[in-house]
Structure 1
Amino acid sequence: MPEFRYVNGIRIFGFPDKASLINYVQGKNEILVAVNAEKIKNADQELKDVINKNIGYPDGVGAVWALGQKGIKNVAKIPGVELWLEFVEKHYLKKSFYFIGAREEIIQSTVDKLNEEYPGINLAGYRNGYIKPHEMEDLFHDIQIKKPDYVFVAMGSPAQERLMMRLSEIHPAIYIGLGGSFDIYSGKTKRAPQFLIDLKLEWFYRLVTEPKRLKRQLKLVGFVKNMILKKY
């Protein structure tokens, strides 16, 4: 079992690379939750409970920093935007997949690209992330009937975690929350250049290209302060 630590009440597992995480979850029907500095600082008790009952993994440099400070040194940052495609690459001819999230044109572009890049992919179903209350039962029924092995949910946090918890209660599978991953995969949003990713400055690129994120980033000053003071 990989090492884990609790950071501000959130259990985070430290994996040395993506392959270790992928191998660890095989045969387990769990929810994989990407943990970053924002979640560590702002998660409410409901979200913490979801993470702690499942598998929280370090999606951001803040989570890696926190685990290192607590004694787990060989920890990789595992971006959710890359992780889900690793699962697809490894299992697309053997396992079935269900995709939920983003706007209709984005999810359709995502599915079209998946079919092109992974011919023969076992696509159990998909739908956009704008689920009206009266549509929820239809989604539950579809999941129960099609019984996918993997369910990817790209709706942003904590909405995606809440939905994954509800779905996991009616159908056991591997669930992964993906935030804006479909936007990036479909080409709607550009990811940071690789050299900035290597320099751990992907957050800076997103701030420059999405100035509306400034308010969210400023809230993380408290995270940095608490890390420096070792309050987590």
Structure 2
Amino acid sequence: MIPKTEILNIPITCLPLDEQIMLIGRWAKMRTSKVVCLANVHMIMEAYRSLSFKKILHKADLVTPDGKPLVLMLRKLGVFHQNQVAGMDVFLNLCALAETMGTAVYFLGSTQDILDKMKLKLDREYPILKIAGMKAIPFVAIDEIDKSHNIELIQEINQSGAGIVFVCLGCPKQEIWMSHYQGLIKGVMIGVGAVFSMYAGNTPRAPYWIQLLCLEWLYRFLQEPRRLWHRYQETIPPFIYLAIKQLIVYYKEKFKRENQSLSEKKMLIDINQLDTYPSKIGEILFKQGLLSKENLEKSLQIQKQFPHLKLGEISIQNNFISLPQLKYYLKNQNIKIGEILVDKKIIKLSSLQKALLIQESKKSQKLGEILVETNILSCEQLRMVIVEQYLRRKGLWLNSKESEGIESFLELRPDPLIRSLNSR
């Protein structure tokens, strides 16, 4: 289940940058047809005004908070841990991950001049990255996209072996294009807008201090005032107005919920309903689709011959997974409730330390119970964190196949190979 929060009725993916990169990397390894949209204020307002475009964003697999205003809005809506998932950061991180994974990448759109400049820079910065292809497709009007499929292009991309397809056609055209080809192109399609031009050096990206001040939009405006003046005039003022309206409704409802939940705190909190004992790393990697059954069996056979080697080491040595992926899933395997709470900024580190001190004197009590009793955490927040810990430790985190509700997680029937793995 991928956590999302709606901004003006558009579902925005609420995952930090590194988790979204790992999720895309997993999809890319399996060459799953997915659509990733990098949302800013312009895209949100396009969707607000167009029902058909709104449906496209609802259908997308990830809608990242590319623009800083969306990150600030999410924090006002209680998603305190969310950072900016900007197009250039997604591009650079995925190129680095694809290089370590051996995943091929396809670059689609922009101009041939920009693609040529990108090729030179990519060869220099990512020397072993597999470039499946680069293609500057001819101009096509938005109205023409839905009328037919470019069969030759579909075959070219699919036959190239690309797991990631960066699409640079501009918003909203690239999102419409990706939605039109979803299910046909075997790879993760990511609409990156001006990223190609920035990476090639044609359009400089705003300095980091300007990004921190949320003024990247102003920096871009000063570069292209004639082109962006009308867009900003049509999107920024109405977005601010609509965002304030949404926040007023949100805080009214939050106040009601907090008053209703006061009686809940008197309830006995049973936090032992879920078995949060961590699964084996091989089981986790298998469930995440990073290790095929064949590769898992091969790894286990090697481990029989060399018992001193860990399964993760064997998987890396045989290029089944990359080191960043192993580190990420090892962290999830043994993650603690306190870590999740602090990472998501639900509570402060000082509050966690205070609760841990109380726990030392009351060894029979669980940490979650103490946090609720001391009014640091609500019952609802505790349940949410326990479920997330369970999903992470069992290898089900962000696994869409197992996202039909907590009941399905509790009733999973493991593969026979997994049963043999657990018996070791």
Q: Same fold (TM over 0.5)?
A: yes
Q: Which residue of 2 aligns with 1:103?
A: 111
The secondary structure found in structure 1 opposite 2:84 is coil
Give me the whole-angstrom Cα distance separating, in 2, the residues matched to 1:113 and 1:45. 39
What is the TM-score of this pair, normalised by structure 2? 0.51
Q: What's the C-alpha RMSD, in Å, of the aligned pairs?
A: 2.1
> For the Cα contact (< 8 Å) 1:102–1:130, is it kept in 2?
no
The one-letter amino acid paired with 2:4 is F
2:87 is matched with which residue? Answer: 80
Give the aligned partner of residue 231 of structure 2.
216
Distance change (3 Å), C-alpha of 1:102 and 1:135? farther
Displacement of 1:131 in angstroms is 4.7
User: What residue in structure 1 maps to residue 257 of structure 2?
Assistant: none
Letter of the structure 1 residue corresponding to residue 130 of structure 2: N
Match of 1:225 in 2: 241
Unaligned runs of 5+ in 2: 250-424
Letter in 1 for 2:233: L
1:187 aligns with 2:201: yes
Separation in 1 of the partners of 2:188 and 2:155?
Answer: 18
Q: Deviations over 1:170-194 (max 9, x none)?
A: 1331111100101000011111112
Give the Å deviation of 1:100: 0.5
Residue 15 of structure 1, CA deviation:
2.1
Structure 1 unaligned segments of length 5 or more: list them: none
> 1:109-124, aligned counterparts within 5 Å?
109-124=117-132
* Displacement of 1:20: 1.5
Hey, what's the Cα distance between the residues in 2 that align with 1:165 and 1:104?
A: 24
CA distance in 2, matches of 1:66, 1:46: 24
Equivalent position to 1:39, from 19, 24, 43: 43
Q: Does 1:9 align with 2:9?
A: yes
Preserved contact between residue 158 and residue 186 of structure 2 (Cα < 8 Å): no
Query: Which deviations, in whole Å up to 9, do the C-alpha atoms of 1:12-68 show, x marking residues without a partner?
Result: 01223x211112334333211111111112222333222222110100022113322
Distance in 2, matches of 1:145 and 1:24, equals 23
Instruction: Kindly indicate whether residue 77 of structure 2 is the aligned counterpart of residue 70 of structure 1.
Output: yes
- What one-letter code is carried by the residue in structure 1 that aligns with 2:74? L
Residue 157 of structure 1 deviates from its aligned partner by 1.2
Alpha-carbon distance, 1:120 to partner: 2.4
| Alignment-derived partner of residue 355 in structure 2 | none
Shift of 1:118: 1.1
Name the stretch that deviates more: 97-106 or 126-135: 126-135
Residue of structure 2 in register with 1:21 after alignment: 20
Does the CA contact (< 8 Å) of 1:129 and 1:155 recur in 2?
Answer: no
For residues 48 and 69 of structure 1, the distance between their equivalents in structure 2, rounded to whole angstroms, comes to: 23
Cα 1:8/1:181, change in 2 over 3 Å: same
Partner of 1:55: 62
CA distance 1:112–1:135, shift in 2 (3 Å): farther
**What's the TM-score, normalizing by structure 1?**
0.91
Bigger mean CA deviation after superposition, 203-212 or 46-55: 46-55
- Which structure has the larger Rg over C-alpha atoms? 2
* Letter aligned with residue 70 of structure 1: L
Report the Cα offset of residue 229 of structure 1. Answer: 2.6
The one-letter code matched in structure 1 to 2:136 is N
Higher helix share: 2
Choose between structure 1 and 2: higher strand proportion: 1
2:10–2:44: 8 Å Cα contact kept in structure 1? Answer: yes
Contact 1:3/1:72 (CA < 8 Å) preserved in 2? no
State how far apart, in whole Å, the 2-side matches of 1:3 and 1:63 are: 15
Q: String of CA shifts for 1:184-232, please: whole Å, max 9, x gaps.
A: 0001111111211121111111111211211111112011111123278
* 2:46–2:172 contact (8 Å) kept in structure 1: no
Count of aligned positions: 231
